[in-house]
A and B are shown apart, each in its own frame.
Chain A
Amino acid sequence: MPRRRRLRKVVAPPIFSGYKPYGTNCESDETIELLYEEYEALKLADYDHMNHQDASELMGVSRPTFARIYKSARIKIARALVEAKVIRMVYGNAWMDKKWFICNDCHSRFTIPKSVSKKSCPICGSENKETLKNQNN
């Protein structure tokens, strides 16, 4: 069983709740949802110029998990810029007060209530999961 790692909240919450393009006349109701941990990964890597190893340690996740979160952040922001889409901040797992898990195989995120006896991923059945937890808990 892999060692459980914690995704920690290490940077302050973003000081905005979303980003809107202007000067465009295509009104789209589709928004891109940026997760808290994606914002955090992007800030650590591209704003604080931290290397991936240090950033992943700070966030308390494995390097591959960090790389995945970071990549997802970049893809979302690039898409928002190119397609002139609104970015909405979603607090995501790092902000969640409850204990969340992330499946390393299908990347779904889930809770495990007391009443659930199956501790594996509820989507693909994988046992390979990591804990995502707010450091304040």
Chain B
Amino acid sequence: MMTVITSSGNNKNSLFDKRFGRTAWFCLYDEETKKTTFIENTDNETSNGAGTKAAEKMVELKVEKVISGDFGPKAKDLLDKFNIQMVIIQDDGIKVKDILEKLKQ
């Protein structure tokens, strides 16, 4: 199963990015192989529709679970329509690897 964690940088030591559509990077985590891949969010500077574009990317990548800090109404509707689980974490200052650790347990 594929999970995405929004990330401020391109490695596991990066801080968790609480924005979904405007996140800098997506950390793609494969639960079977335990491998992570970082994908740059090229649409995060778009003036509008960043949430929709990010949600479309999740569908494209066949992601089943997205972990972020907030989802806009459009992104929420799309993710919901494609049965993608949304998870909101409000903690400040946590790293991507901290979330990965929890998922691996």
Interface on A for B, CB 8 Å cutoff?
33, 35, 72, 90, 96-98, 106-116, 122-125
Contacts and interface: CB of A to CB of B under 8 A. Distances in A.
Interface-central residue, A35, A107, A112, A123, by most chain B CB under 10 Å: A123
A114 B85 CA distance: 9
A113 B83 contact: yes
B65 interface: yes
B88 A108 contact: yes
B105 interface: yes
Contacts of B65: 122
Nearest to A90: B70
A124 to B, nearest CB: 6
B61 interface: no
Given A96-B76, A113-B84, 17 more contacts: A33-B18, A33-B70, A35-B90, A72-B90, A106-B102, A107-B90, A108-B88, A108-B89, A109-B87, A109-B90, A110-B87, A111-B86, A112-B85, A122-B67, A122-B87, A123-B99, A124-B105
